[in-house]
């Protein structure tokens, strides 16, 4: 049994990851910020332990890590999934918008990874999986700050993979395309149909399809894979 930490684990891709790992017999800890009801629902469904924390806050992350360490001793896999998104013209993005986006999407991944990294270094093994986005690879119009933060996660992944390779730790990134989650709940049926026409597989992806990819990268089958970006996007921009 492995100990798995998933940020943004109350819903969407994070909750799907919690289900996949729990079914494998792993002990799952989900870190969430706001939605108590969804977090408890995921916890009941998977047997996960839900820990409330703002991952952009160093104090919150340190406190969450103390709670998790007190319950399991050490962590084997960290999945940096928590993120926020916003559709806005570049000219309308404020400095506060920019800082908030990077605070959650990039600083959060940094703080959470740092909080559990010593567990892996001490064991000379572990997996860190960062959830980026297709827009981190290609850029998305009217989502400059979101795209930039997700691109930063890709750079974070590649650099950290090189640094931690001698410690036996694999660091990889999953870049989902258009996935049926709350983040895309603002899309109406017409918009979803239009997007589907642009995807070679002609459909929007599911959270479970992303979670299955994350599970593979966390498994022994992926022990020789590190520093990679795996695009789960139905063939967009191939």
Q: How far is CA 208 from CA 11, 27, 121, in A?
A: 11, 18, 30
Cβ density class 125-146: b for 16+ within 10 Å, e for less = ebbbbbbbbbbbbeebeebbbb
Respond yes or no: is residue 146 known to be catalytic. yes
Q: What is the DSSP string of 2-18?
A: -EEEEETTTSHHHHHHH
How far apart are the C-alpha atoms of 163 and 49, rounded to whole Å?
30
Tokens representing 220?
A: 């022994």
Name the residues annotated as catalytic: 146
């Amino acid at each position: 049994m492995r100990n798995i930490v998933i940020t943004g684990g109350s819903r969407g891709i994070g909750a799907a990851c919690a289900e996949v790992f729990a079914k494998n017999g792993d002990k799952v800890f989900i870190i969430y910020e706001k939605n108590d009801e969804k977090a408890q629902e995921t916890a009941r469904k998977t047997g996960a332990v839900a820990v409330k924390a703002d991952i952009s806050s160093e104090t919150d992350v340190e406190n969450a890590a103390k709670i998790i360490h007190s319950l399991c001793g050490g962590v084997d896999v960290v999945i940096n999934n928590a993120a926020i998104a916003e559709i806005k013209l570049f000219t309308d993005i404020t400095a506060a918008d920019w800082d908030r986006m990077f605070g959650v999407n990039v600083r959060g991944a940094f703080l959470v990874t740092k909080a559990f990294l010593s567990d892996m270094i001490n064991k000379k093994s572990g997996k860190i999986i960062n959830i980026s986005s297709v827009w981190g690879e290609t850029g998305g119009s009217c989502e400059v700050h979101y795209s930039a933060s997700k691109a930063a996660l890709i750079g974070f992944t590649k650099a950290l993979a090189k640094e931690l390779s001698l410690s036996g730790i694999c660091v990889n990134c999953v870049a989902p395309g258009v996935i049926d989650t709350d983040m895309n709940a603002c899309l109406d049926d017409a918009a979803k149909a239009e997007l589907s026409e642009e995807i070679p597989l002609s459909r929007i992806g599911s959270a479970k399809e992303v979670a299955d990819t994350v599970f593979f990268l966390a498994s022994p089958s992926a022990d020789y894979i590190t520093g990679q970006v795996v695009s789960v996007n139905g063939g967009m921009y191939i």
